[in-house]
Structure 1
Amino acid sequence: MGHKNTIFLALVATLIAKEAFAAQHVVGGSQGWDQSTDFKTWISGQTFKVGDKLVFKYTSLHSVVELGSESAYKNCDISSPIKSLSTGNDVVKLDKPGTRYFTCGTLGHCSQGMKVKITTVKGNALSPALSPSSSPSSSPVSSSSPSLSPSFTTTTSTKSSSTSQCFTSFISIVALSVTIMISLF
């Protein structure tokens, strides 16, 4: 029975650690989801991995609409959205690799550039970037417009996200240590 408990506790600790290491990307950085945000610059400093979360922070003038195709994204066609969000603090989990398309549902905002194309890559959620880096990797992301050509880097979206990841890393290590100590008794 002791070994089953040890395995169970190790599994729980692993799941907690995986969730704790996922990055939270505040879309648009400190400006948030707003027309004045330069999404081209913001996205160029991001790496999106499976398990990460997008956080859309915005006022009641905006909303978040997830589109189902690159064509809908390019044409700002919000007539058949996958999802529409409007709380002003929406969280979208990136649960599988691939490309997802988001825009503002307010008339004219998409055509004025209030949209982002997020490409999520497979990645080890247990090895997050804990400090910003400005050097892009060799895998650029293709873009729907010539002026939007982001490259992946190993930065988190905000300093608070990095601090939060350090704290959750510490908690995960403590939880795993406690699990190991319990299994020894």
Structure 2
Amino acid sequence: MAQGRGSAMAVTVTILLCMIQLHFEIASAAIYTVGGRGGWIFNVAGWPKGKSFKAGDVLVFNYNPAAHNVVGVSKAGYNSCTAPRGAKFFTSGKDRIKLKRGQNFFICTFAGHCQSGMKIAVTAA
């Protein structure tokens, strides 16, 4: 019987340690406001330069939803300023997007906006 209680204790401790680890991973994620105080605007493509991003960091896109949007795209979509069929469109004006490991590409699909520099490429370690 004592052996059963020990097993339960070990499981409880393991679960507790996993929860603590998850808490620290979430707490360590950085939050970046794209474009700084100016927000998600034209000519923001250079904004990521000099910043170190990690997977799990959050990008906040602030903009006027009547004038802009945010769409996550592939590298090809970024280069051609086109969103593929089925792409996720963000339209709240206060979008929060978690970065995945590797390259992350975002554009505005309003006519001419991406071509005018309303796009960013972010690499997360």
- Scaled by the length of structure 1, the TM-score of the pair is 0.58
Encode CA deviations 1:118-141: one digit per residue, 9 max, x unaligned. 1121xxxxxxxxxxxxxxxxxxxx
- 1:171 counterpart residue number: none
Encode CA deviations 1:98-125: one digit per residue, 9 max, x unaligned. 212111121111010000011121xxxx
Distance in 2 separating the partners of 1:14 and 1:7: 11
Q: Which structure 1 residue ranges, 5 or more long, are not aligned?
A: 122-185
Give the SS at the match of 2:103. strand
Distance in 1 separating the partners of 2:30 and 2:119: 21
Q: After TM superposition, what 4+ stretches of structure 1 lie above 2 angstroms from structure 2? A: 1-4, 78-82
Question: In the TM superposition, what are the counterparts of 1:57-76 in structure 2 within 5 Å?
Answer: 57-60=62-65, 61-68=67-74, 70-76=75-81
1:31 maps to which of 15, 38, 44 = 38
Question: In the TM superposition, what are the counterparts of 1:123-134 in structure 2 within 5 Å?
Answer: none
* Structure with bigger gyration radius: 2
Cα root mean square deviation, aligned:
1.7
Quickly say closer, same or farther: Cα 1:45–1:117, change in 2 above 3 A: same
Percentage identity across aligned positions? Answer: 34
Q: Which structure 2 residue ranges, 5 or more long, are not aligned?
A: 1-7
Structure in which a larger fraction of residues adopt strand: 2
- 1:115 counterpart residue number: 119
- 1:154 counterpart residue number: none
**Displacement, 1:71?**
2.5
**Displacement, 1:81?**
5.7
- 1:98 counterpart residue number: 102
